[in-house]
Amino acid sequence: MAQWQSEPLRRLAGWSLAAYALCVWPANINHMLLDQGSNLACHVPRMFAQPLMIWAALWSSGGIDWPWRRSSAVPV
């Protein structure tokens, strides 16, 4: 694997995974609505986890640094 060596490849992978998770989100909402309340123990955590998955893909790939900003200053 070359992801740890290639910054652009790692960022592309993070943005691609985030885009995929964002595109799947409406399908998850539709699936929850079609179940009409049955098995909410499966659907509700997924609805809360989806934005976290998007953030984690972007943060771990270096696409974003929120909420922990990387400081460019060298500590003394």
pLDDT for the residue 56: 92
Question: Within a 13 Å sphere around the CA of 73, how many CA atoms are in the beta-carbon half?
Answer: 2
The average pLDDT across 41-56 equals: 88
Which amino acid type is present at position 24? V
Query: Dihedrals φ, ψ of 39, to 5°?
Result: 60, 45
What is the tens place of the pLDDT at every residue in 22-35? 999 898 888 888 88
What are the extents of the domains in the chain? 11-61
Q: What's the CA gap between 39 and 41, in Å, rounded? A: 5
Q: What is the pLDDT of residue 41?
A: 81
